[in-house]
Amino acid sequence: MMNDTENKNITIGDVAEALGVSKTTVSRAISGKGRIGDETRQRVLDYIEANNYRPNPMAKGLADQRKYNICWAIPGDSNVYDLPFFQRCMAGVCEVTMATDYDVLISLVYEKNISHLKRIVENKKVDGVILGRTLVDDLAVKYLKGKDIPFVTIGSSNEKNVIQVDNDHENACKEITSILAGKGYRKLALIGGSSSHVVNATRQRGFELGLRAAGVDINEDMLFLGNETTADVERAVDGALSVGAECIVCMDDCICRDVLLKLRRDGISVPGDLKVASFYNSELLDDNQPQITAIQYDPKEIGNVACTILLKIIAGEEVEQKSLLGYEVLLKESTR
């Protein structure tokens, strides 16, 4: 006898009929909700397994008002979304959903335009949202707070009552800064990026705490912040050199790369003439000779945690307001 053919669309009704029970019973066997006889449940489960029955998520969603999708929202600006950070983070998110009934829907959001996210939320296509990046004055955060939908942000938000998961940037930056100062490099210049990112403010704070911890006074002239373009960074490098920096601390990998290129072009040797460290490590720095002292995070872990938390919220469980993840300080050649 032929095994079950690739039945087009076997429904809960078919299963019920085949087994001579009601749809409700089948539903109960699957969901585990409601009371049902052990033997009956097993019969149903066996049949389902054997015939590869899959509940239609549309119907289920319609009936129980759930979508079984979450939204992964990342910056749509081309120079941002291709940072490996987001891919890894996303993989972390997917890893978690793979073990559940949930799937991940993508949304590209822009600094001033979150219309796609709005559409997804208003079309009720998702049960929750993970914001892959958080800005200081984040449109998406504000929007989601106004809606009745669970969401978590990756990276810290200044907004109140927002569930967030982040690396412990502050302590990481504090630690690496004080280590550097402890090594005797007391003229540390900080070169930082756009101040519209919460994380940059956090890193700056970590930097200052680190200096203080090492007993070094903070010198405003050594802070070069708000650099957006490569040209800005290059200017900052010149500035740092002109005020006699012994070590340049870069707020992130992109800046550090620009700094290193500039130094190489100018014939300034690292660590010979100048030390360099970065508050964020990535493959952008991997190839550099010498290897760069930097803070190492695990983006995938962030994705994991963010997703786990979101699913908990959706399930109605309580969660921490803020989760801080660990880091590693990699001391390399560039500050030797």
Partner DNA sequence: TTGAAAGCGCTAACAC
Partner DNA sequence: GTGTTAGCGCTTTCAA
Q: Which helix (H) or strand (E) holds 223?
A: strand 223-227
Q: Which residues pair with 191 in a beta bridge?
A: 224, 250
Give the pair of three-digit tokens for residue 86. 């987001």
Shortest spacing between CB 150 and its own copies, in angstroms: 16
What DSSP assignment string belongs to 15-61? HHHHHTS-HHHHHHHHH--S---HHHHHHHHHHHHHHT----HHHHH
- Determine if residue 127 is left, alpha or beta; phi over 0 gives left, psi from -120 to 50 gives alpha, anything else beta: alpha
| 23: contact with DNA by CB under 7 A | yes
Give the one entry of its own copies, DNA, none that residue 13 binds, where binding means its C-beta sits below a cut-off of 5 to 8 angstroms depending on kind: DNA
Please state the closest distance from residue 315 (CB atom) to its own copies, in A: 19
Which helix (H) or strand (E) element contains residue 324? strand 322-325
Q: Is 60 in the site for DNA (CB under 7 A)?
A: yes
- Residue 315 contacts its own copies per CB under 8 A: no
Site string for its own copies, 231-270 (x = CB under 8 A): --------------------------x---x--x------
Cβ-proximal residues to 198 (8 Å cutoff; 6+ apart), any chain: 134, 135, 136, 155, 156, 157, 158
Distance CA 74, CA 86 (A): 7
Nearest to 30 by CA among 56, 4, 62: 56
| Min dist. Cβ of residue 80 to DNA (A) | 35
Q: Does 182 bind its own copies (CB under 8 A)?
A: no
Among its own copies, DNA, none, residue 27 binds (CB under 5-8 Å by kind): DNA
Q: Which sign, positive or negative, has the C-alpha torsion 97, 100, 103, 108? A: negative
Least separation, in Å, of the C-beta of 311 and its own copies?
16
Q: Which three-class secondary structure state does DSSP give residue 69?
A: strand
CB 49 within 8 A of CB 59: no
Contacts (CB under 8 A) with its own copies, residues 263-302: 264, 287, 289, 300
d(CA 223, CA 219): 7
Residue 17 C-beta: closest distance to DNA, Å: 11
Taking the least distance from each CB to its own copies, the nearer of 78 and 161 is 78
Which listed option, its own copies, DNA, none, makes contact with residue 302 (CB within 5 to 8 Å by class)? none
Q: Assess 57 for contact with its own copies (CB under 8 A).
A: yes
Q: Which is nearer to DNA, 28 or 262 (CB)?
A: 28
Q: Which residues bind DNA (CB under 7 A)?
A: 9, 11-13, 20-25, 27-28, 30-31, 33-37, 39-41, 54-56, 58-60, 62-65
**Which stretches of the chain bind its own copies, using CB under 8 A?**
52, 54-59, 61-62, 67, 69, 72, 76, 78, 81-82, 84, 86-88, 90-91, 94-95, 98, 103-108, 116, 120, 122-125, 257, 261, 264, 287, 289, 300
